[in-house]
Amino acid sequence: MSLIDDMFKGDNWKTLAVGVGLIVVGPPLLKVFSATVKPLVKATIKGGLIASAKGKVVLAEMGEILEDIVAEAKSELEEHH
């Protein structure tokens, strides 16, 4: 935090040096970071989409099973009354 604090305390040379450093070093680092992280992020999103689709199928199947059980229970109640 002291570097950020110093930037706002009037030390213009440090502020200028940090700004120039970010302008020079920032874009290449951003490209490397983006190239490295983008495939990981895409793979994570794909995994989430696949899990979501499978989860929907499982929930639908569970719903059908529950509906069958409820129908059987209702049928048994009607038989006894």
Q: What is the mean pLDDT of the segment spanning 32-58? A: 90
Count how many domains the chain has: 1
Average pLDDT rounded to a whole number, residues 42-70: 95
What pLDDT shows up at residue 72?
96
pLDDT of residue 9: 61
Q: Which domain holds residue 18?
A: 2-80
pLDDT number for residue 29:
79
pLDDT tens per residue, range 16-27: 777 778 788 878
Question: Residues 7-12: what's their mean pLDDT?
Answer: 61
Q: Are 32 and 17 in contact (CB under 8 A)?
A: no
> What is the C-alpha to C-alpha distance for residues 80 and 11, in angstroms, rounded to an integer?
89
